[in-house]
Structure 1
């Protein structure tokens, strides 16, 4: 029997990985725990958000965590006045992001209700028009970001600038464009949460109503009642499927044998009969749908399809193989819709009169608002952040060419405010004709040290949580998005009374039971190793892993709730999933045989039993 524990380690209890001493210095002061606040910070429960930030932050990359969590919180606490939820406090500890939901004091809850109702009514009363305006705002910001340039400084002020009395040397353009890049990114992160929190609220309202009128309803049945929707987040994957089907129709399949050489592959297609038509469709898909990353958009190393054509070409080649083997590659939307209608009818029949009307009104609102929970991802995490990182790379290459950095990647080891100082150093030394900027001698040692610290931090996995958990976790987003529930936290602590050997427990995220062989994927770069029919085990999946969902039998993740991307995507691809297990990716090894029960939320490591295959392995049962 495991020894039961009441709490997780305190931040100060965690040993610092060898070589990472002094790691606190590489992040802004406000992102690390403070000795002066130890008592207050140790009194709070913090969970690690490895769902969105699965790898150690380089200093420049904290921007995504800061903007995302700050803006999420402002919509709870300042815009919508959610009665029982303020924002989420956050810190970086040993390179990973930890979060602590801020409760609303009991005595303040009632006073927020009327404000909250008026504010959500404002949106829900005119959802389509407001969402259309949101798209206009977000795309406008992206266009403004695209227009920014980081050109080398002009060797000489043009004579016409003298004639026109400009009175500036061009360096202000560099400084202004950097400031604009940061502020435009921040702007789209504020927009990001305007509708996201509403999507969760609508779903939670329906969820809570169902639990009230049907006390024994499984969480999954509630989720099923809003499934089968057409989501823009699936559009990039759908474009690849259409291109695969077109390649088969035009008899171009054999030209996809070496997609690691995209230039040769595309040239061969263009030269083949019917190839022009295929290339035209390929090029049309690029804007905007190839502004898509195999990561999650939060890191400088995330690879985007439009800059790495071997990635989408590889997925297309895989789809072509499956089509030629007779597989159905399109999402089973009709089946999902039929199942949704069956479940809705089943529960609606149990109600009458006003309750039935309320049920349908709440369900309809949840179904309308729910697609945004995934769609926003394409516009912000993928498209906005894709443009952001591309511009950062343009800037870093210009700085390397100007002698500031030896390696353009060095920029990521400075915080965004430090980069601003480096830019002023550059324009000063350039403007006065002094030659190389001071950064060329002042930074190399500092950057080398930071590289060493980041590499050392990567050698340790983060603790799933810190300090003592509360008696009960009520904050809605923590439960729905991250799957951090009272029961789950106790299970992480080893306090699960029903614990069985070789069985991991998590959220019952998508129904179905299968057996198969595990494939543990710790990073998107390892996706190519997945074999057909394996069970994907990962700390978390990214929404952009869609093309592999046709290959695998089930998904198991360490973190994530009913509304996590992994859960939603698996339901929409009709795949069993168990999320929020806490430790699957470090407990299970590639090659282990597993039985995944997405209806119960269990993953069993099978020691000696034959692997089931074939359709009988995938049976759905809804409560």
Structure 2
């Protein structure tokens, strides 16, 4: 099966294909891993293909130090995973860069022979792993946790340059390995999910209910949310809520030190961070600290939770989700007249519950997406301290404007001759392009009728309906998308374009955004509903909205370009319709 494209619908690349990129960048083959094709700036040839801007992961753009993290993840990781699993119609995904902004495209396979050969390989690979998914995933979890234990125990302050170089090479190898594991498992689960989807469609059942049949499993991110709500409750009990109104980490810490009970509350926060703080707010982003390093995000979330004294009843919400799950499954089974068809449905559903993509897509983020790069960050900052001491850099944060191979070269006596000037030029370049993020189109190139990569369809929501909306490109008062979570609500829109701006969200807002990832999860305890541009049946937004019982419509294609902050909007999460009331 090949990607079907309508060549009459082209969104030009314009100046984004002029080859503009970070000053002084010289790509090196050994630093650019790929199986199908490498990450690169846009060229005119890319206009013949479809590209989606990944603003939900990289809203502000990406620095040189993060570029290799991105390539390990979305280029190497997807291509490795697709190759190992043998997904027939896709060789994974690949990145293009517009200035500093990240776009994502498919690496399609069009050869009938290759698709047939991969289908044979997929069957042999998938069978035993799906039969005992718990053991399969537990093995990878143990491998990753053992590596974290190793890297966390390194005494980077006592290492010489050779030791730092060796440790950094190890951390890079671990990072790449982790993303290979990530997409191997993701493609396996996505393919199993698609099989259930196709069977459901063949039986005449409602495919939009499939995620609800798989809902209700507890994840690390919901446990994190519960911990943050408990800390908000403890702040009230200890009488320190007013101290937490301070808008900065430093201000809150000082206010707590001057408040009876403040030291106790801060100690409880540190206990929470020891378990849940080894995560960042964005994926593959070197210049963002972890929660444990700088707890601005958890403190900001707790501050907002303090405006909701009634809290959030996680147990009640989960009971409601499970009750709806069981009711919907019973209804689906009752609608299947043939006993053989019902057996096939039961077997496919049981397979997807044992190897549950809805659960795993949230659970794995804490173990991989938000954590896997932290060993590289820690070692990179240790190298930066040496370079500052030697006068090579002016400040440790300047290291984020060096590419991976340049940093490794500096540790072995090579590297750029004038890092200071190079950093200045690259900062200026980053600032220029980052500020232009709001101008960049959400999609560019030749808009297809469909894509055949299951991750792009089920997670990013690149469905035929999405593409039809993009081709229409008309602002309208009524938007359609995927009915992600049931219920109806009327509220005031809050348009948020990047994760670092979620502190703008207020109690009762209707969240409107490009799409959400795990760092947005705490906001779902405040909002009354959610609408996104992208996202499919397995997107983070859809999953968490169901867990919180919030009306939600995803994959509208044009929500952030149609709705403005302050608009009154009506979400119908049962029909997948959003109305802008004015």
More off after superposition, 131-140 vs 362-371:
362-371
- The answer to whether the 8 A contact 1:510-1:570 is kept is yes
- The answer to whether the 8 A contact 1:292-1:305 is kept is yes
Query: Residues 522 and 342 (structure 1 numbering): CA distance in 2 closer, same or farther, change over 3 Å?
Result: same
- The answer to whether the 8 A contact 2:42-2:98 is kept is no
2:33 is aligned to: none
1:291 is aligned to: 278
2:301 is aligned to: 315
How many angstroms apart in 1 are the aligned matches of 2:215 and 2:241? 34
Report the Cα offset of residue 528 of structure 1. Answer: 2.2
1:455 is aligned to: 431
- Counterpart check, 1:122 vs 2:128: yes
Query: Residues 92 and 327 (structure 1 numbering): CA distance in 2 closer, same or farther, change over 3 Å?
Result: closer
How many angstroms apart in 1 are the aligned matches of 2:388 and 2:17? 33
- Counterpart check, 1:32 vs 2:40: yes
Structure 2 counterparts to residues 475-494 of structure 1, below 5 A: 475-494=453-472
SS in 1 for 2:370: helix
How many angstroms apart in 2 are the aligned matches of 1:66 and 1:383? 16
- The answer to whether the 8 A contact 1:16-1:94 is kept is no
Q: Deviations over 1:450-498 (max 9, x none)?
A: 1111112123333222322334323222111111123312311226xxx
2:343 is aligned to: 357
Query: Residues 32 and 570 (structure 1 numbering): CA distance in 2 closer, same or farther, change over 3 Å?
Result: same
How many angstroms apart in 1 are the aligned matches of 2:574 and 2:413? 59
SS in 2 for 1:567: helix
TM-score, normalisation: structure 1:
0.82
Report the Cα offset of residue 258 of structure 1. Answer: 3.8
- Counterpart check, 1:335 vs 2:320: yes
How many angstroms apart in 1 are the aligned matches of 2:311 and 2:480? 36
SS in 2 for 1:8: strand
Report the Cα offset of residue 405 of structure 1. Answer: 0.6
Report the Cα offset of residue 248 of structure 1. Answer: 4.7
2:551 is aligned to: 576
Q: 1:106 aligns with which of 106, 112, 128?
A: 112
In structure 2, the gaps of 5 or more residues are 1-5, 29-37
TM-score, normalisation: structure 2:
0.87
Q: 2:442 aligns with which of 444, 464, 475?
A: 464
1:617 is aligned to: none
Structure 2 counterparts to residues 29-68 of structure 1, below 5 A: 30-33=38-41, 39=45, 41-68=46-73
Q: Deviations over 1:327-380 (max 9, x none)?
A: 646671000000111000001112242322221221122223221111110011
How many angstroms apart in 2 are the aligned matches of 1:471 and 1:321? 45
Query: Residues 127 and 501 (structure 1 numbering): CA distance in 2 closer, same or farther, change over 3 Å?
Result: closer
Query: Residues 257 and 413 (structure 1 numbering): CA distance in 2 closer, same or farther, change over 3 Å?
Result: closer
- The answer to whether the 8 A contact 1:236-1:290 is kept is no
How many angstroms apart in 1 are the aligned matches of 2:312 and 2:449? 49
- Counterpart check, 1:393 vs 2:371: no
- Counterpart check, 1:7 vs 2:9: yes
Structure 2 counterparts to residues 358-507 of structure 1, below 5 A: 358-368=344-354, 369-370=356-357, 371-425=359-413, 442-460=418-436, 461-494=439-472, 501-507=476-482
More off after superposition, 455-464 vs 70-79:
70-79
How many angstroms apart in 2 are the aligned matches of 1:449 and 1:424? 24
SS in 1 for 2:114: helix
Q: 1:588 aligns with which of 559, 563, 566?
A: 563
- Counterpart check, 1:552 vs 2:560: no
Q: 1:226 aligns with which of 194, 197, 214?
A: 214
1:195 is aligned to: 185
Report the Cα offset of residue 597 of structure 1. Answer: 2.4
How many angstroms apart in 2 are the aligned matches of 1:411 and 1:189? 23
Q: Deviations over 1:381-420 (max 9, x none)?
A: 2222344333333332332222111122221112101111
How many angstroms apart in 2 are the aligned matches of 1:375 and 1:329? 17
How many angstroms apart in 2 are the aligned matches of 1:419 and 1:525? 27
Query: Residues 27 and 319 (structure 1 numbering): CA distance in 2 closer, same or farther, change over 3 Å?
Result: farther
How many angstroms apart in 2 are the aligned matches of 1:239 and 1:190? 31
Query: Residues 350 and 9 (structure 1 numbering): CA distance in 2 closer, same or farther, change over 3 Å?
Result: closer
Query: Residues 127 and 534 (structure 1 numbering): CA distance in 2 closer, same or farther, change over 3 Å?
Result: same
The structure carrying a bigger strand percent of its residues is: 2
SS in 2 for 1:391: helix
Q: 1:344 aligns with which of 324, 329, 332?
A: 329
Q: Deviations over 1:37-82 (max 9, x none)?
A: x55x443322222232222111111122211123443455321112
How many angstroms apart in 2 are the aligned matches of 1:80 and 1:66? 20
How many angstroms apart in 1 are the aligned matches of 2:7 and 2:115? 32
Structure 2 counterparts to residues 269-308 of structure 1, below 5 A: 272=261, 276=264, 281-293=268-280, 295-308=281-294
2:93 is aligned to: 88
1:139 is aligned to: 145
Report the Cα offset of residue 230 of structure 1. Answer: 0.9
SS in 1 for 2:273: helix
1:161 is aligned to: none
Matched residues, number:
560
More off after superposition, 458-467 vs 339-348:
458-467
Report the Cα offset of residue 503 of structure 1. Answer: 2.6
- The answer to whether the 8 A contact 1:89-1:102 is kept is yes
SS in 2 for 1:399: helix
How many angstroms apart in 1 are the aligned matches of 2:67 and 2:112? 33
- The answer to whether the 8 A contact 1:297-1:386 is kept is no
Query: Residues 200 and 485 (structure 1 numbering): CA distance in 2 closer, same or farther, change over 3 Å?
Result: same
1:167 is aligned to: none
How many angstroms apart in 1 are the aligned matches of 2:85 and 2:7? 37
